[in-house]
Homo-oligomer: A and B are copies of this chain.
Protein backbone atom coordinates (compact mmCIF):
# COMPACT_ATOMS: atom_id res chain seq x y z
CA UNK A 1 0.00 0.00 0.00
CA UNK A 2 1.17 3.49 -0.76
CA UNK A 3 1.37 6.05 2.00
CA UNK A 4 -1.70 7.97 0.82
CA UNK A 5 -3.65 4.78 0.91
CA UNK A 6 -2.48 4.06 4.41
CA UNK A 7 -3.57 7.55 5.32
CA UNK A 8 -6.95 6.97 3.73
CA UNK A 9 -7.31 3.83 5.72
CA UNK A 10 -6.71 5.67 8.95
CA UNK A 11 -9.14 8.41 8.09
CA UNK A 12 -11.79 5.91 7.11
CA UNK A 13 -11.09 3.92 10.23
CA UNK A 14 -11.87 6.91 12.39
CA UNK A 15 -14.92 7.89 10.45
CA UNK A 16 -16.02 4.27 10.12
CA UNK A 17 -18.94 4.95 7.82
CA UNK A 18 -20.42 1.47 8.01
CA UNK A 19 -20.50 1.35 11.82
CA UNK A 20 -24.19 2.13 12.32
CA UNK A 21 -25.30 0.08 9.31
CA UNK A 22 -23.30 -2.86 10.63
CA UNK A 23 -24.95 -2.52 14.02
CA UNK A 24 -28.37 -2.26 12.36
CA UNK A 25 -27.69 -5.46 10.43
CA UNK A 26 -26.58 -7.28 13.61
CA UNK A 27 -29.70 -6.19 15.50
CA UNK A 28 -31.92 -7.30 12.60
CA UNK A 29 -30.15 -10.66 12.61
CA UNK A 30 -30.68 -11.00 16.39
CA UNK A 31 -34.39 -10.26 16.04
CA UNK A 32 -34.72 -12.83 13.26
CA UNK A 33 -33.15 -15.37 15.61
CA UNK A 34 -35.81 -14.69 18.22
CA UNK A 35 -33.92 -12.33 20.50
CA UNK A 36 -36.18 -9.96 22.47
CA UNK A 37 -35.80 -6.25 21.79
CA UNK A 38 -37.87 -3.24 22.88
CA UNK A 39 -38.91 -2.89 19.21
CA UNK A 40 -39.97 -5.27 16.45
CA UNK A 41 -37.73 -4.14 13.66
CA UNK A 42 -35.05 -1.66 12.77
CA UNK A 43 -36.06 1.35 10.66
CA UNK A 44 -33.17 2.91 8.80
CA UNK A 45 -33.81 6.42 7.48
CA UNK A 46 -30.17 7.53 7.60
CA UNK A 47 -29.75 7.65 3.83
CA UNK A 48 -31.96 8.76 0.97
CA UNK A 49 -33.19 5.24 0.21
CA UNK A 50 -36.98 5.50 -0.01
CA UNK A 51 -37.61 1.88 -1.05
CA UNK A 52 -35.82 0.61 2.03
CA UNK A 53 -38.16 2.74 4.13
CA UNK A 54 -41.15 1.18 2.37
CA UNK A 55 -42.00 3.64 -0.43
CA UNK A 56 -43.31 1.68 -3.42
CA UNK A 57 -41.57 1.98 -6.84
CA UNK A 58 -43.21 3.68 -9.83
CA UNK A 59 -45.27 1.06 -11.69
CA UNK A 60 -44.58 2.32 -15.22
CA UNK A 61 -40.81 2.17 -14.74
CA UNK A 62 -40.85 -1.30 -13.23
CA UNK A 63 -43.21 -2.67 -15.88
CA UNK A 64 -41.04 -1.41 -18.73
CA UNK A 65 -37.87 -2.77 -17.11
CA UNK A 66 -39.47 -6.16 -16.41
CA UNK A 67 -40.61 -6.38 -20.03
CA UNK A 68 -37.12 -5.47 -21.26
CA UNK A 69 -35.64 -8.25 -19.14
CA UNK A 70 -38.18 -10.80 -20.26
CA UNK A 71 -39.46 -9.76 -23.69
CA UNK A 72 -41.83 -12.75 -23.84
CA UNK A 73 -44.10 -10.51 -21.73
CA UNK A 74 -44.44 -8.24 -24.74
CA UNK A 75 -46.27 -10.91 -26.67
CA UNK A 76 -49.05 -10.90 -24.10
CA UNK A 77 -51.46 -8.19 -23.12
CA UNK A 78 -50.18 -8.24 -19.58
CA UNK A 79 -48.93 -4.64 -19.67
CA UNK A 80 -50.51 -1.38 -20.94
CA UNK A 81 -49.77 -0.50 -24.56
CA UNK A 82 -47.38 2.36 -23.77
CA UNK A 83 -45.34 0.04 -21.55
CA UNK A 84 -45.00 -2.42 -24.40
CA UNK A 85 -44.13 0.28 -26.91
CA UNK A 86 -41.53 1.81 -24.64
CA UNK A 87 -39.94 -1.56 -23.93
CA UNK A 88 -39.74 -2.31 -27.66
CA UNK A 89 -38.17 1.04 -28.33
CA UNK A 90 -35.61 0.70 -25.54
CA UNK A 91 -34.68 -2.82 -26.59
CA UNK A 92 -34.19 -1.45 -30.10
CA UNK A 93 -31.61 0.94 -28.66
CA UNK A 94 -29.63 -1.91 -27.03
CA UNK A 95 -26.88 -3.79 -28.84
CA UNK A 96 -28.33 -7.03 -30.19
CA UNK A 97 -31.76 -5.90 -28.92
CA UNK A 98 -30.90 -7.22 -25.47
CA UNK A 99 -30.25 -5.67 -22.05
CA UNK A 100 -27.64 -8.42 -21.77
CA UNK A 101 -25.21 -6.74 -24.17
CA UNK A 102 -22.58 -4.20 -23.18
CA UNK A 103 -23.51 -0.54 -23.86
CA UNK A 104 -22.45 0.59 -27.33
CA UNK A 105 -20.08 3.17 -25.89
CA UNK A 106 -18.37 3.49 -22.54
CA UNK A 107 -20.40 6.70 -21.99
CA UNK A 108 -23.61 4.73 -22.37
CA UNK A 109 -26.25 4.04 -25.00
CA UNK A 110 -26.35 6.84 -27.64
CA UNK A 111 -30.15 6.85 -27.90
CA UNK A 112 -30.41 7.47 -24.17
CA UNK A 113 -27.74 10.17 -24.17
CA UNK A 114 -29.98 11.90 -26.71
CA UNK A 115 -33.13 11.47 -24.58
CA UNK A 116 -31.37 12.94 -21.56
CA UNK A 117 -30.04 15.89 -23.58
CA UNK A 118 -33.58 16.60 -24.83
CA UNK A 119 -34.92 16.43 -21.28
CA UNK A 120 -32.31 18.96 -20.13
CA UNK A 121 -33.15 21.30 -23.00
CA UNK A 122 -36.88 21.15 -22.13
CA UNK A 123 -36.14 21.67 -18.45
CA UNK A 124 -33.94 24.68 -19.17
CA UNK A 125 -36.45 26.40 -21.50
CA UNK A 126 -34.50 25.64 -24.63
CA UNK A 127 -30.86 25.92 -23.53
CA UNK A 128 -29.12 23.41 -25.82
CA UNK A 129 -27.61 20.20 -24.47
CA UNK A 130 -25.21 18.06 -26.49
CA UNK A 131 -25.84 14.30 -26.17
CA UNK A 132 -22.08 13.76 -26.32
CA UNK A 133 -21.74 15.71 -23.07
CA UNK A 134 -23.89 13.17 -21.22
CA UNK A 135 -21.87 10.47 -19.48
CA UNK A 136 -23.57 7.60 -17.67
CA UNK A 137 -22.19 5.45 -14.92
CA UNK A 138 -23.45 3.11 -12.22
CA UNK A 139 -24.75 5.92 -10.03
CA UNK A 140 -24.19 9.66 -10.09
CA UNK A 141 -21.62 9.32 -7.33
CA UNK A 142 -19.50 7.17 -9.58
CA UNK A 143 -19.66 9.85 -12.29
CA UNK A 144 -18.48 12.36 -9.69
CA UNK A 145 -15.70 9.98 -8.72
CA UNK A 146 -14.65 9.63 -12.36
CA UNK A 147 -14.47 13.38 -12.71
CA UNK A 148 -12.58 13.91 -9.45
CA UNK A 149 -10.17 11.17 -10.37
CA UNK A 150 -9.27 13.22 -13.42
CA UNK A 151 -8.87 16.38 -11.37
CA UNK A 152 -6.87 14.84 -8.57
CA UNK A 153 -3.14 15.44 -8.42
CA UNK A 154 -0.37 16.63 -6.18
CA UNK A 155 0.34 16.25 -2.50
CA UNK A 156 0.65 18.62 0.42
CA UNK A 157 0.72 22.20 -0.81
CA UNK A 158 -0.08 21.13 -4.36
CA UNK A 159 -2.89 18.71 -3.56
CA UNK A 160 -6.08 19.28 -5.55
CA UNK A 161 -8.85 20.60 -3.34
CA UNK A 162 -12.57 21.20 -3.74
CA UNK A 163 -14.68 23.74 -1.85
CA UNK A 164 -17.47 21.80 -0.17
CA UNK A 165 -20.47 22.97 1.82
CA UNK A 166 -20.67 22.37 5.55
CA UNK A 167 -22.84 20.35 6.06
CA UNK A 168 -22.26 18.30 2.90
CA UNK A 169 -23.81 15.03 1.64
CA UNK A 170 -22.64 12.24 3.92
CA UNK A 171 -21.03 10.25 1.12
CA UNK A 172 -18.91 13.17 -0.11
CA UNK A 173 -16.04 13.07 2.45
CA UNK A 174 -15.45 9.35 1.76
CA UNK A 175 -15.57 9.92 -1.95
CA UNK A 176 -13.06 12.77 -1.84
CA UNK A 177 -10.73 10.79 0.43
CA UNK A 178 -10.98 7.88 -1.96
CA UNK A 179 -9.68 9.92 -4.91
CA UNK A 180 -7.16 11.89 -2.86
CA UNK A 181 -8.88 15.28 -3.10
CA UNK A 182 -8.81 17.64 -0.12
CA UNK A 183 -11.98 19.24 1.26
CA UNK A 184 -12.11 22.99 1.82
CA UNK A 185 -15.35 23.53 3.76
CA UNK A 186 -17.51 26.62 3.44
CA UNK A 187 -20.07 26.98 6.21
CA UNK A 188 -23.73 27.30 5.24
CA UNK A 189 -25.86 29.67 7.30
CA UNK A 190 -28.02 27.51 9.55
CA UNK A 191 -30.02 30.42 10.95
CA UNK A 192 -30.90 31.41 7.35
CA UNK A 193 -32.20 27.97 6.45
CA UNK A 194 -28.72 26.84 5.36
CA UNK A 195 -28.26 29.47 2.68
CA UNK A 196 -24.92 29.93 0.91
CA UNK A 197 -22.97 33.06 1.83
CA UNK A 198 -20.71 34.73 -0.70
CA UNK A 199 -18.36 36.21 1.91
CA UNK A 200 -17.88 32.78 3.42
CA UNK A 201 -16.91 31.40 -0.01
CA UNK A 202 -14.24 34.08 -0.32
CA UNK A 203 -13.04 33.44 3.22
CA UNK A 204 -12.79 29.66 2.69
CA UNK A 205 -10.94 30.04 -0.59
CA UNK A 206 -8.53 32.61 0.77
CA UNK A 207 -7.76 30.46 3.79
CA UNK A 208 -7.10 27.43 1.56
CA UNK A 209 -4.89 29.10 -1.06
CA UNK A 210 -1.27 28.46 -0.33
CA UNK A 211 -2.10 25.27 1.57
CA UNK A 212 -3.53 23.28 -1.34
CA UNK A 213 -4.78 23.81 -4.88
CA UNK A 214 -8.52 24.57 -4.94
CA UNK A 215 -9.75 23.61 -8.41
CA UNK A 216 -13.52 23.31 -8.05
CA UNK A 217 -16.52 24.18 -5.93
CA UNK A 218 -19.14 21.55 -5.08
CA UNK A 219 -22.77 22.60 -4.64
CA UNK A 220 -25.72 20.46 -3.61
CA UNK A 221 -29.00 22.05 -4.74
CA UNK A 222 -31.65 21.24 -3.53
CA UNK A 223 -29.39 20.72 -0.58
CA UNK A 224 -28.44 17.39 0.90
CA UNK A 225 -28.83 17.19 3.89
CA UNK A 226 -30.03 20.77 4.43
CA UNK A 227 -33.22 20.91 2.35
CA UNK A 228 -32.25 24.40 1.19
CA UNK A 229 -33.17 25.44 -2.37
CA UNK A 230 -30.97 28.18 -3.84
CA UNK A 231 -32.52 31.30 -5.39
CA UNK A 232 -31.52 33.03 -8.62
CA UNK A 233 -29.37 35.64 -6.90
CA UNK A 234 -27.32 33.07 -4.99
CA UNK A 235 -26.76 30.94 -8.08
CA UNK A 236 -25.60 33.99 -10.02
CA UNK A 237 -23.24 34.93 -7.19
CA UNK A 238 -21.78 31.45 -7.00
CA UNK A 239 -21.29 31.36 -10.77
CA UNK A 240 -19.56 34.76 -10.72
CA UNK A 241 -17.40 33.65 -7.82
CA UNK A 242 -16.40 30.42 -9.60
CA UNK A 243 -15.69 32.34 -12.81
CA UNK A 244 -13.50 34.98 -11.26
CA UNK A 245 -11.65 32.42 -9.14
CA UNK A 246 -11.35 29.94 -12.04
CA UNK A 247 -13.05 27.11 -10.20
CA UNK A 248 -14.94 24.31 -11.93
CA UNK A 249 -18.58 24.13 -10.82
CA UNK A 250 -19.60 20.66 -9.64
CA UNK A 251 -23.35 20.85 -9.16
CA UNK A 252 -25.21 17.96 -7.61
CA UNK A 253 -28.82 18.46 -8.70
CA UNK A 254 -30.19 15.01 -7.95
CA UNK A 255 -33.17 16.38 -6.02
CA UNK A 256 -34.32 18.66 -8.84
CA UNK A 257 -37.75 17.03 -8.87
CA UNK A 258 -38.15 17.24 -5.09
CA UNK A 259 -38.91 20.84 -4.21
CA UNK A 260 -41.72 21.03 -1.68
CA UNK A 261 -44.18 23.87 -1.14
CA UNK A 262 -44.75 26.89 -3.36
CA UNK A 263 -42.08 29.09 -1.87
CA UNK A 264 -39.16 28.07 -4.10
CA UNK A 265 -38.65 26.64 -7.56
CA UNK A 266 -35.73 24.57 -8.76
CA UNK A 267 -33.40 26.52 -11.06
CA UNK A 268 -30.63 24.62 -12.75
CA UNK A 269 -27.16 26.11 -12.64
CA UNK A 270 -26.90 25.54 -16.37
CA UNK A 271 -30.00 27.59 -17.18
CA UNK A 272 -28.80 30.45 -15.01
CA UNK A 273 -25.32 30.24 -16.54
CA UNK A 274 -26.73 30.52 -20.05
CA UNK A 275 -28.91 33.46 -19.10
CA UNK A 276 -25.85 35.32 -17.84
CA UNK A 277 -24.59 35.74 -21.41
CA UNK A 278 -21.86 34.37 -23.62
CA UNK A 279 -18.97 35.54 -21.46
CA UNK A 280 -20.20 33.01 -18.89
CA UNK A 281 -22.02 30.39 -20.95
CA UNK A 282 -19.12 29.85 -23.34
CA UNK A 283 -16.34 29.69 -20.79
CA UNK A 284 -17.36 28.44 -17.36
CA UNK A 285 -16.54 24.76 -16.83
CA UNK A 286 -19.44 23.04 -15.12
CA UNK A 287 -20.58 19.50 -14.39
CA UNK A 288 -24.13 18.74 -13.34
CA UNK A 289 -25.07 15.41 -11.72
CA UNK A 290 -28.41 13.62 -11.74
CA UNK A 291 -29.52 10.17 -10.62
CA UNK A 292 -32.35 7.65 -10.62
CA UNK A 293 -31.60 7.08 -6.91
CA UNK A 294 -32.96 10.39 -5.85
CA UNK A 295 -36.34 11.97 -5.27
CA UNK A 296 -39.57 10.56 -6.57
CA UNK A 297 -37.95 7.75 -8.59
CA UNK A 298 -35.81 6.50 -5.72
CA UNK A 299 -34.30 3.50 -7.54
CA UNK A 300 -31.10 3.38 -5.45
CA UNK A 301 -30.41 -0.33 -5.96
CA UNK A 302 -30.35 -0.12 -9.75
CA UNK A 303 -27.36 2.28 -9.70
CA UNK A 304 -27.85 4.74 -12.50
CA UNK A 305 -26.81 8.33 -12.89
CA UNK A 306 -25.27 10.72 -15.35
CA UNK A 307 -23.20 13.86 -15.50
CA UNK A 308 -23.50 16.59 -18.09
CA UNK A 309 -20.13 18.21 -18.72
CA UNK A 310 -20.26 21.80 -19.98
CA UNK A 311 -17.46 23.78 -21.63
CA UNK A 312 -15.02 20.92 -21.09
CA UNK A 313 -11.93 20.51 -23.24
CA UNK A 314 -12.53 17.61 -25.70
CA UNK A 315 -9.37 16.03 -24.31
CA UNK A 316 -10.93 15.91 -20.86
CA UNK A 317 -14.09 14.38 -22.30
CA UNK A 318 -12.09 11.73 -24.15
CA UNK A 319 -10.25 10.95 -21.01
CA UNK A 320 -13.45 10.53 -19.00
CA UNK A 321 -14.68 8.13 -21.64
CA UNK A 322 -11.51 6.07 -21.76
CA UNK A 323 -11.40 5.90 -17.96
CA UNK A 324 -14.66 4.00 -18.03
CA UNK A 325 -13.74 1.92 -21.06
CA UNK A 326 -12.97 -1.40 -19.34
CA UNK A 327 -16.12 -1.12 -17.23
CA UNK A 328 -19.01 0.11 -19.37
CA UNK A 329 -22.09 1.28 -17.44
CA UNK A 330 -24.93 -1.15 -16.69
CA UNK A 331 -27.74 -1.12 -19.24
CA UNK A 332 -30.93 -1.43 -17.15
CA UNK A 333 -30.30 1.71 -15.07
CA UNK A 334 -29.78 3.63 -18.30
CA UNK A 335 -33.21 2.45 -19.41
CA UNK A 336 -34.56 3.59 -16.04
CA UNK A 337 -33.01 7.00 -16.66
CA UNK A 338 -34.69 7.18 -20.06
CA UNK A 339 -38.00 6.45 -18.37
CA UNK A 340 -37.33 9.08 -15.70
CA UNK A 341 -36.72 11.79 -18.29
CA UNK A 342 -39.60 10.63 -20.52
CA UNK A 343 -42.52 9.69 -18.29
CA UNK A 344 -45.92 8.80 -19.82
CA UNK A 345 -47.64 11.73 -21.58
CA UNK A 346 -51.31 12.74 -21.44
CA UNK A 347 -53.24 10.24 -23.52
CA UNK A 348 -50.84 7.35 -22.86
CA UNK A 349 -52.35 4.28 -21.24
CA UNK A 350 -50.20 4.65 -18.12
CA UNK A 351 -50.52 8.40 -17.77
CA UNK A 352 -53.21 8.42 -15.13
CA UNK A 353 -51.64 5.85 -12.82
CA UNK A 354 -48.23 7.44 -13.23
CA UNK A 355 -49.51 10.92 -12.40
CA UNK A 356 -51.35 9.60 -9.39
CA UNK A 357 -48.23 7.82 -8.09
CA UNK A 358 -46.03 10.87 -8.58
CA UNK A 359 -48.52 13.21 -6.93
CA UNK A 360 -48.79 10.87 -4.03
CA UNK A 361 -45.03 10.87 -3.54
CA UNK A 362 -44.71 14.62 -3.83
CA UNK A 363 -47.53 15.06 -1.35
CA UNK A 364 -46.06 12.54 1.06
CA UNK A 365 -42.68 14.22 0.85
CA UNK A 366 -44.14 17.66 1.36
CA UNK A 367 -46.42 16.70 4.26
CA UNK A 368 -43.72 14.58 5.89
CA UNK A 369 -41.16 17.39 5.70
CA UNK A 370 -43.62 19.83 7.26
CA UNK A 371 -44.84 17.43 9.90
CA UNK A 372 -41.38 16.22 10.92
CA UNK A 373 -39.97 19.74 11.11
CA UNK A 374 -42.75 20.86 13.46
CA UNK A 375 -42.44 17.70 15.52
CA UNK A 376 -38.67 18.06 15.93
CA UNK A 377 -38.91 21.72 16.85
CA UNK A 378 -41.27 20.73 19.64
CA UNK A 379 -38.70 18.44 21.24
CA UNK A 380 -36.68 20.27 23.91
CA UNK A 381 -33.03 20.49 22.89
CA UNK A 382 -33.70 20.11 19.18
CA UNK A 383 -34.16 22.70 16.47
CA UNK A 384 -34.75 22.09 12.81
CA UNK A 385 -34.63 24.38 9.79
CA UNK A 386 -37.61 24.18 7.51
CA UNK A 387 -36.84 22.14 4.34
CA UNK A 388 -37.71 23.50 0.90
CA UNK A 389 -36.50 20.53 -1.11
CA UNK A 390 -34.59 17.28 -1.17
CA UNK A 391 -35.46 14.36 1.06
CA UNK A 392 -33.58 15.10 4.30
CA UNK A 393 -34.12 17.06 7.48
CA UNK A 394 -31.05 18.03 9.46
CA UNK A 395 -32.00 19.06 13.01
CA UNK A 396 -29.53 20.44 15.52
CA UNK A 397 -29.10 18.72 18.88
CA UNK A 398 -28.17 19.88 22.35
CA UNK A 399 -26.41 16.93 23.91
CA UNK A 400 -26.03 16.37 27.66
CA UNK A 401 -22.41 16.83 28.70
CA UNK A 402 -22.34 13.24 30.01
CA UNK A 403 -22.91 11.85 26.51
CA UNK A 404 -20.11 14.03 25.21
CA UNK A 405 -17.76 12.77 27.92
CA UNK A 406 -18.80 9.14 27.44
CA UNK A 407 -18.14 9.50 23.71
CA UNK A 408 -14.72 11.00 24.35
CA UNK A 409 -13.81 8.08 26.58
CA UNK A 410 -14.84 5.51 24.00
CA UNK A 411 -13.11 7.39 21.16
CA UNK A 412 -16.37 8.10 19.33
CA UNK A 413 -17.93 11.31 18.13
CA UNK A 414 -20.80 12.25 20.45
CA UNK A 415 -23.36 12.32 17.65
CA UNK A 416 -22.29 8.84 16.58
CA UNK A 417 -22.73 7.59 20.15
CA UNK A 418 -26.15 9.26 20.25
CA UNK A 419 -27.21 7.51 17.01
CA UNK A 420 -25.79 4.23 18.27
CA UNK A 421 -27.79 4.38 21.48
CA UNK A 422 -30.92 5.41 19.57
CA UNK A 423 -30.45 2.40 17.34
CA UNK A 424 -29.87 0.00 20.24
CA UNK A 425 -32.68 1.31 22.41
CA UNK A 426 -35.32 2.23 19.84
CA UNK A 427 -34.35 0.45 16.64
CA UNK A 428 -34.15 3.69 14.68
CA UNK A 429 -31.11 4.35 12.50
CA UNK A 430 -30.43 8.04 11.77
CA UNK A 431 -27.26 9.61 10.38
CA UNK A 432 -24.85 11.48 12.67
CA UNK A 433 -23.94 14.97 11.48
CA UNK A 434 -20.25 14.21 11.78
CA UNK A 435 -20.67 12.16 8.60
CA UNK A 436 -21.87 15.37 6.95
CA UNK A 437 -18.66 17.10 7.95
CA UNK A 438 -19.75 18.69 11.20
CA UNK A 439 -17.18 18.82 13.95
CA UNK A 440 -17.38 18.18 17.64
CA UNK A 441 -19.16 21.20 19.00
CA UNK A 442 -22.00 21.33 16.61
CA UNK A 443 -24.25 18.29 16.78
CA UNK A 444 -26.82 17.38 14.16
CA UNK A 445 -28.65 14.32 12.95
CA UNK A 446 -29.87 13.49 9.47
CA UNK A 447 -33.09 11.76 8.53
CA UNK A 448 -34.71 10.97 5.21
CA UNK A 449 -38.37 11.96 5.21
CA UNK A 450 -39.35 10.22 1.97
CA UNK A 451 -40.97 7.28 3.80
CA UNK A 452 -44.55 6.14 4.24
CA UNK A 453 -46.17 8.59 6.73
CA UNK A 454 -46.80 5.85 9.29
CA UNK A 455 -43.15 4.84 9.21
CA UNK A 456 -42.04 8.43 9.67
CA UNK A 457 -44.47 8.88 12.55
CA UNK A 458 -42.99 5.82 14.21
CA UNK A 459 -39.44 7.15 13.71
CA UNK A 460 -40.34 10.53 15.19
CA UNK A 461 -42.06 9.04 18.25
CA UNK A 462 -39.19 6.71 19.02
CA UNK A 463 -36.71 9.54 18.54
CA UNK A 464 -38.62 11.78 20.96
CA UNK A 465 -38.89 9.04 23.57
CA UNK A 466 -35.18 8.40 23.33
CA UNK A 467 -34.17 12.05 23.33
CA UNK A 468 -36.28 12.86 26.40
CA UNK A 469 -34.99 9.75 28.14
CA UNK A 470 -31.31 10.59 27.71
CA UNK A 471 -31.90 14.16 28.79
CA UNK A 472 -33.72 12.85 31.84
CA UNK A 473 -31.06 10.24 32.53
CA UNK A 474 -28.43 12.92 32.71
CA UNK A 475 -30.30 15.36 34.88
Partner of A17, one of B73, B322, B333: B322
The docked-state distance in angstroms from the alpha carbon of A171 to that of B324 is 11
- Looking at the complex, which of A51-59, A195-203, A261-269, A367-375 is the stretch in contact with chain B? A51-59
Interchain CB contact (< 8 A) of A21 among B49, B104, B142: B104
Within 8 A of B (CB), among A187-233: none
Q: Which residues of A in the span 128-160 have a Cβ within 8 Å of any Cβ on B?
A: 138-139, 141-142, 145, 150, 152-154
Q: Does A80 belong to the interface (CB within 8 Å)? A: no
Q: Once the chains bind, are B96 and A52 in contact (CB under 8 Å)?
A: yes
Number of interface residues of A (CB under 8 A): 79
Q: Which of B51, B70, B102 contacts A301 (CB 8 A)?
A: B102
The residue from B47, B101, B105 contacting A51, defined by CB atoms under 8 A apart = B101
Q: Are B145 and A98 in contact (CB under 8 A)?
A: no
With an 8 A cutoff between CB atoms, is A318 at the interface?
yes
Give the complex CA separation of A50 and B101 in angstroms. 7
Q: Are B105 and A18 in contact (CB under 8 A)?
A: yes
The complex places the Cα of A302 from the Cα of B101 at a distance, in Å, of 8
> Is there a chain B Cβ closer than 8 Å to A127's Cβ?
no
A239 to B105, CA, bound (A): 37
Assess whether A449 is interfacial by the CB under 8 Å rule. Answer: no
* Residue A27, interface by CB 8 Å: no
Q: How far is the CB of A129 from chain B (nearest CB, A)?
A: 20
> Which residues of chain B have C-beta atoms less than 8 A from A103's C-beta?
301
- CB within 8 Å for A25 and B110 given contacts A49-B102, A331-B301, A332-B332: yes
Q: Across the interface, which residues of B come within 8 angstroms of A318, CB to CB?
A: 9, 13
Q: If the complex has contacts A70-B66, A104-B25, A301-B100, are A145 and B326 also in contact, measured as CB distance less than 8 A?
A: yes
**A window 68-84: CB within 8 A of B:** 69-70, 73, 78
Known: A1-B150, A174-B325. 14 other contacts (CB 8 A): A1-B316, A2-B152, A17-B325, A22-B105, A52-B98, A52-B101, A52-B102, A62-B69, A63-B70, A78-B78, A141-B327, A142-B327, A174-B326, A330-B330
What are 10 residue pairs bridging A and B, where the CB atoms are less than 8 Å apart in the complex? Answer: A25-B105, A51-B100, A51-B101, A52-B102, A65-B70, A141-B326, A175-B326, A301-B331, A303-B330, A303-B331
